Amino acid sequence: MSISNEALQKLVREIESQAIAAQQQIGLARTQMTAKQREQRLVKLTMSEMASLPDDAVVYEGVGKMYVPSPAPHDLVTYTTEACTNRGSRLRFASLPVTTLRQKLERQAHDLEGEVGKLNQRLLYLETTHKNSREHIEQMLRSQ
């Protein structure tokens, strides 16, 4: 079976565009995986630092800039900083028990493991797709 040169060129361009798209997706997946792994390391570091704290210790979690009802709840602490602007910005922290924060960090670590696993599977799929596309192009060129 012989394929015309025009049809062959069209097929090669289509497969090549798939390979290029897969290559771009591979870069994106690797970037996302790196970010998730960095976040995992930060969570593990925080958990290891919290291991030395007693269970009745009060810890503060940053909640960023936000509006709070007036009067502010007793478990919300506000700090004024002179960070990046001439005006002072207000950063807020919520106090919570150590056990609550540990549970939250453990859930976050578990979720991150799942996300990294999914990204790893996606990366494997994309690399296989890219490899197959390149092999098909080479095979088509060899058969010419």
Q: How confident is the model at residue 48 (pLDDT cuts 50, 70, 90)?
A: very high
| Closest of 98, 97, 80 to residue 89, by C-alpha | 80
Q: Please state whether the predicted TM-score (pTM) of the whole model is above 0.75.
A: no
For the chain, the domains span 5-143
Tens-digit pLDDT profile for residues 78-92: 444 444 444 455 666
5-143: in CATH 3.40.50.300: no
135: Cβ contacts below 8 Å, ≥ 6 apart? none
